[in-house]
Amino acid sequence: MKDPAMDEMSLAQRAGSDPEAFGELYERHVRKIYNYIYYRTGNVHDAEDLTEMVFQRALRHVGKFEDKGVPFTAWLYRIAHNLVANWHRDRSRRPVVPLDQHAAVSEVSAYPESEAMALEETELLMTIVRQLPPDRQQLLILKFVEHMSNAEIGDVMDRSEGAVKSLYHRTLNALRVEAKRLEEESSAARSVNDEKAG
Amino acid sequence: MDANLSTKQLEDLLADILVPVEPSVQFIRRLRARLVTYHGRGPLSSWMVIVVIATVFLLAVTSIGLVIRFFLGWVSLIGIISNRRRMKSEVRVAT
């Protein structure tokens, strides 16, 4: 049986001169890269544009790709990470687009109130996630969307497995702290409103 | 959202919101087609560069040969004409 990592590496080494090999790599990774960019940008159009740029850049440089023990996927994620960082830098003066497209509830529910609360909670958590530093967002996306292990995430992020584990726990703590802050802010706002109403 | 969530609860919430999204089929196909086009106009491979240089060199050599032939033909024509003129003037002087 063929080792998938070896197979992937041989495809990557042929991809510079063999369009079929590059096509195979494209089919294997386009969805992962799209998902990563989608969660980092928060909208479909930018996710499509940036995914296209990632694969164009990969096609331009795949001939220089060398087997240094880092999987081809990690190489693609690094291209995507750099492009998303540039995208955020270019857009830093523009307002943030809310990431709510995937969370939209289209069906009519028997429990609209509880669903509305759940949606509000989801949006709140997503807002907090999007306020995290880029490396923490990347970690959460790779862990929850791609279901990668800490070792695989370490390959992509160029960190040790232990460093990834530690970053993950710090990220969860940061999420809790931010959630607590937002909860206190909203309860303070509620009590001010109640006083005004009373 | 409860700020005192346990790690497990927080992970479950994250697993609920960070779900894989599927790009549109049209996008996947369109991008693949664009990449094929892009591959077609990619940088020249080394053997293509050698072929181009060799062709340019051959064309240059051929054209230089042609120019030299024209130049020699022109010089010899001038030589023939001036030789005839000289012969005519010599005949006139002799008579």
Would the CB atoms of A183 and B1 count as touching at under 8 Å?
A: yes
Residues A69-89: pLDDT tens digits? 788 899 999 999 999 999 998
> Which chain B residues contact residue A130 at CB under 8 A?
none
Would the CB atoms of B17 and A126 count as touching at under 8 Å?
A: yes
A141 CA: distance to closest CA in chain B (Å): 7
pLDDT tops 80 at residue A193: no
Picking from A48, A144, A180, the nearest residue to B27 by CB comes out as: A48
Residues A1-37: pLDDT tens digits? 455 666 888 888 888 778 888 888 999 999 999 999 9
For residue B18 the two structure tokens come to 């960070």
Q: Is A31 on the interface with B (CB under 8 A)?
A: yes
Determine what percent of chain A is predicted with pLDDT higher than 90. Answer: 42
Mean pLDDT of chain A: 83
Which of the four pLDDT bands, split at 50, 70 and 90, describes residue A104? very low
> Which chain B residues contact residue A35 at CB under 8 A?
20-21
pLDDT of residue A113: 67
Nearest-angstrom CA–CA distance, A132 and B86: 99
pLDDT of residue A83: 95
Which amino acid type is present at position A106?
S
Question: Quick one: average pLDDT of B11-40?
Answer: 87
> For helices A19-41 and A4-14, what crossing angle results, to 10°?
110
pLDDT of residue A1: 46
Of A159, A108, A104, nearest to A135 by C-alpha is: A159
Nearest-angstrom CA–CA distance, A171 and A165: 10
Nearest-angstrom CA–CA distance, A70 and A154: 10
pLDDT of residue A133: 92
Nearest-angstrom CA–CA distance, A27 and B14: 27
Q: Is B8 on the interface with A (CB under 8 A)?
A: no
Q: Is A144 on the interface with B (CB under 8 A)?
A: yes
| Residue B20, burial from CB neighbour count under 10 angstroms (0-12, 13-18, 19+) | middle
Mean pLDDT of chain B: 86
Q: Is A35 on the interface with B (CB under 8 A)?
A: yes
Are the beta carbons of A156 and A32 closer than 8 angstroms?
A: no
Q: Does the structure's ipTM exceed the value 0.95?
A: no
Q: Is B48 on the interface with A (CB under 8 A)?
A: no
Residues B48-66: pLDDT tens digits? 888 999 999 999 999 999 9
> Which chain B residues contact residue A51 at CB under 8 A?
23, 27, 31
Question: Quick one: average pLDDT of B40-50?
Answer: 68
Least confident of A27-36, A38-47, A124-133, A176-185: A176-185
Q: Is A131 on the interface with B (CB under 8 A)?
A: no
| Residue A55, burial from CB neighbour count under 10 angstroms (0-12, 13-18, 19+) | buried
pLDDT of residue A50: 95
Rg (CA), chain A: 20
Are the beta carbons of A46 and A87 closer than 8 angstroms?
A: yes
What is the pTM (predicted TM-score) of this model?
0.68
